[in-house]
Chain A
Amino acid sequence: MTEDEKKNQSVYGDSPGERKIARHTLSILVDNEPGVLSRIIGLFSGRGYNIDSLTVAEVSEKLNQSRITVVITGTPDVIEQIINLLARLVPVHKVTDLTVLGPHIERDLVLIKIASNQDDLLKAYDIANEYGAIVTDKTEESYVFQYVDTTAKVDEFLEKITPFGMKNISRTGSAAMSCGKEKF
């Protein structure tokens, strides 16, 4: 059977093929209720969309609201679809596409543990210093550095420092906010 013949047999049409993809950062304000995170994640997994990173924490105890920051990569159609699907969830108050909105700040936090000989530890310390990472724990044979920056910068930092005895990495997703005086 040729590919074409196989396609003709499907109960569904053909897949639309490749389109241009881009990375978007979405900021979602939700009611802080049980199940809200799984509603949001289910929406992504149910449609086969991949989440690059996700951060969630309560932002207002009084209003009982949380902010979820999701970084996703997709075609413009997929992004538009995701935003509309998120917005129609009952506990979702507002969805903002920071990438479309304009200049914004995004920060990831990473903790990295380096354990090695004195020589490597020194080199690791120099790299950390150069990037402005903070020493959060220190023993004779190890360091734990804390570093906060954009996803790309954090990737770069980790790539540089890893060869000098990386034992463990713990990393958050992005927290994000628009520049300027506007609310988002």
Chain B
Amino acid sequence: MNTTALKQKSSNQTNKTKQLSGAEMVIEAMIEQGVDTIFGYPGGAVLPIYDALFQQNKIKHILCRHEQGAAHAAEGYARSTGKTGVILVTSGPGATNAVTGLTDALLDSIPLVCITGQVPTFLIGNDAFQEADTTGITRPCTKHNYLVKNVNDLPNIMHEAFHVAGTGRPGPVVIDLPKDIQFAEGDYIAKDKAITHMYKPQTDPDMAAIEQAVEMIANAKKPIFYTGGGVINAGPKASKDLTEFVKATGYPITSTLMGLGAFPAHDEQWLGMLGMHGTYEANWSMHDCDVMINIGARFDDRVTGDVTKFSPNSKKIHVDIDPSSINKIIHVDLPIIGDAGKTIEAMLNVWKDKGYKTNHEELNKWWSQIDEWRAVKCLSYKKSDTIIKPQYALERLNHFLQKNEKETGQESFITTEVGQHQMWAAQFLPFNKPNRWMTSGGLGTMGYGLPAAIGTQLGNPDGMVVDVAGEASILMNIQEMSTAVQYNLPVKIFILNNQWMGMVRQWQELLHGERYSQSYTESLPDFVKLAEAYGGVGLRATTPDELDGVIEQMLQTDKVTIVDVNVCQSENCFPMIPSGKAHNEMILAADAEKFDKKLV
């Protein structure tokens, strides 16, 4: 922050502006930024802000039970509403507890503003009680951070933090606010008078590059759209335009874990998710395509597999808002820096204005090839009458969610924890709209799903919010049950309980000689009683016949509900591309028996 300029600005304004305490400025700036819900946990170093919160009624504070929970709840809120999530935590342990959530938001590009209390300025560096070097700790896990040392800088910093969090590639921003600054009085600066910083990322794409891209797209013989979270972050219009563009071309489309929902999964051009646990048809199409149209995805290592063998014969177009994503992992032929939404709109306009047409003859050949891959039915699994297969449980969940949506108009929102259940959810639950799917992609944070569901439910009070969970992950933020009970949030926790850290067990089975080191989840609680102990509803299904009834019951409850679905313990998640392998070296369920377990 340019302090000299700031001082000038604030002295010019003394007559006009109102005097507020630092704590009041925080509230005032949030209100001006359109914040109505924040997630937090009080403590000594933020008491003045909690006092100011107490004396107003425009901002609702949600008391989570752990600062990590508050951070993930803010993420869920942000991802399902498109707004910036806000967290308020105390100094020291409050701030360090929030670090996992901040890192999660950084890797998944989620806009957050996190206000951390700090010891008074005159004690900073003295190892004071509950002091931590918060700006030092969070520098590598935030998009930007601030330590406020003068109350007159605070209003600008608040406004700038929201600007930085939400503009360009979104991300988390920390404002570390010493307690004496919260008490000090200064001139408040309104949002429209605030000095916006130099931070002006490029969001308008280069039109010459767009023209070139559309020409490449039109001339493609074996094209594929590969889209990511950037499309979701660009807002609902981007998803709408993407769908229109993809329909206009007739080309196949796949997406990353983060991008699910930008294109409707019920459409026949949809190939399913790609990557390590992506579909056979999506990964083979990526491998064999001649033109790859990457919009808002970043060639993550879970997606590319072996980079030297990644889609060897294609020309690649890469649209990204962050120039540092370009050529980071995969060399591309045509980079376009810009907002995914603006870029798709521009491409669609060029396609229409120039009257481009698809080469149907070539495209038909490409589709018949893809249909052969589809015929492999890579997501098939062995059904059982006696034991609940996790895939089956999700198929039934999906059936009843769709039915509920049709009958009542209530929209479904899915969050997940991390593990096999997360990948199965991505494979078996179809997403037809953006902002309906909240999962920890980049960081893979166990314990994300329940707090994210809480944030999602707060942002979408009429929605049906389900956390697809594993029995190990759910225990990492189980304390948030209390939050759900306190605020009457009827989130549903659908545990695919395989009694194992399934994803770890799978790797150990396939790659570590079946030595199951520490992956059995011993001494699990009785989840039904646990739900009841918190004041929620607990349900259990142990056989396939019980499943439908239990799901129907779950959809009827008006309280937080845990459903303990006892699933097959030995099921593995396929298809799977072992790390460092190419897209065409995928293992299918049918091959699993043949998989060489004697590797080690």
| Chain A residues with a Cβ under 8 A of chain B | 1, 5, 7-14, 16, 31, 33-35, 38-39, 42, 46, 62-64, 77, 80-81, 84-85, 87-90, 93
B600 with A5: CB separation less than 8 A:
yes
> Which of B1-9, B420-428, B552-560 makes up part of the contact surface?
B1-9
Instruction: Please name the residue on chain B nearest to A82 by beta carbon.
Output: B324
Instruction: Please name the residue on chain A nearest to B160 by beta carbon.
Output: A90
Docked CA distance A9–B512 (Å) = 8
A88 with B580: CB separation less than 8 A:
no
B4 with A84: CB separation less than 8 A:
no
Q: Which residues of A contact B599 (CB under 8 A)?
A: 5, 8-9
Q: Which residues of A contact B136 (CB under 8 A)?
A: 38
Instruction: Please name the residue on chain A nearest to B199 by beta carbon.
Output: A90
B69 at the interface (CB under 8 A from A): no
For A88, give its contact among B135, B322, B579 (CB under 8 Å): B322
Q: Which residues of B contact A38 (CB under 8 A)?
A: 136, 139
Pairs A–B under 8 Å by Cβ, sample size 15: A9-B512, A10-B579, A13-B301, A13-B580, A16-B308, A63-B2, A64-B2, A64-B3, A81-B324, A84-B323, A85-B324, A88-B322, A89-B144, A90-B144, A90-B199
Q: Which residues of A contact B578 (CB under 8 A)?
A: 8
Q: Which of B115-135 contact A (CB under 8 A)?
A: 135
Q: In whole Å, how far is A24's beta carbon from the nearest beta carbon of chain B?
A: 16
B301 with A8: CB separation less than 8 A:
no
B326 with A84: CB separation less than 8 A:
yes
B147 with A34: CB separation less than 8 A:
yes
For B323, give its contact among A33, A34, A88 (CB under 8 Å): A88
A88 with B1: CB separation less than 8 A:
no
The 3 closest A-B pairs by CB, nearest first: A84-B324, A13-B580, A90-B144
Q: In whole Å, how far is A58's beta carbon from the nearest beta carbon of chain B?
A: 12
Instruction: Please name the residue on chain B nearest to A6 by beta carbon.
Output: B600
Docked CA distance A178–B195 (Å) = 32
Q: Which residues of A contact B434 (CB under 8 A)?
A: none
B4 with A81: CB separation less than 8 A:
no
B328 at the interface (CB under 8 A from A): yes
Central interface residue in A8, A11, A63, A88, by most chain B CB within 10 Å: A88
Central interface residue in A13, A14, A46, A89, by most chain B CB within 10 Å: A13
Q: In whole Å, how far is A26's beta carbon from the nearest beta carbon of chain B?
A: 14
B580 with A10: CB separation less than 8 A:
yes
Q: Which residues of B contact A8 (CB under 8 A)?
A: 511, 578, 580, 599
Docked CA distance A41–B322 (Å) = 20
Q: In whole Å, how far is B598's beta carbon from the nearest beta carbon of chain A?
A: 10
B307 at the interface (CB under 8 A from A): yes
Instruction: Please name the residue on chain A nearest to B171 by beta carbon.
Output: A88
Q: In whole Å, how far is B30's beta carbon from the nearest beta carbon of chain A?
A: 20
Q: In whole Å, how far is A96's beta carbon from the nearest beta carbon of chain B?
A: 15
B197 at the interface (CB under 8 A from A): yes
B384 at the interface (CB under 8 A from A): no
Docked CA distance A33–B140 (Å) = 17
B327 with A77: CB separation less than 8 A:
yes
B511 with A9: CB separation less than 8 A:
yes
Q: Which residues of A contact B579 (CB under 8 A)?
A: 10-13
Q: Which of B501-559 contact A (CB under 8 A)?
A: 507, 511-512
A1 with B1: CB separation less than 8 A:
no
Q: Which residues of B contact A80 (CB under 8 A)?
A: 327
Central interface residue in A11, A34, A63, A93, by most chain B CB within 10 Å: A11
A88 with B307: CB separation less than 8 A:
no
Q: In whole Å, how far is B223's beta carbon from the nearest beta carbon of chain A?
A: 26
B306 at the interface (CB under 8 A from A): yes
Docked CA distance A21–B554 (Å) = 60
B305 at the interface (CB under 8 A from A): yes
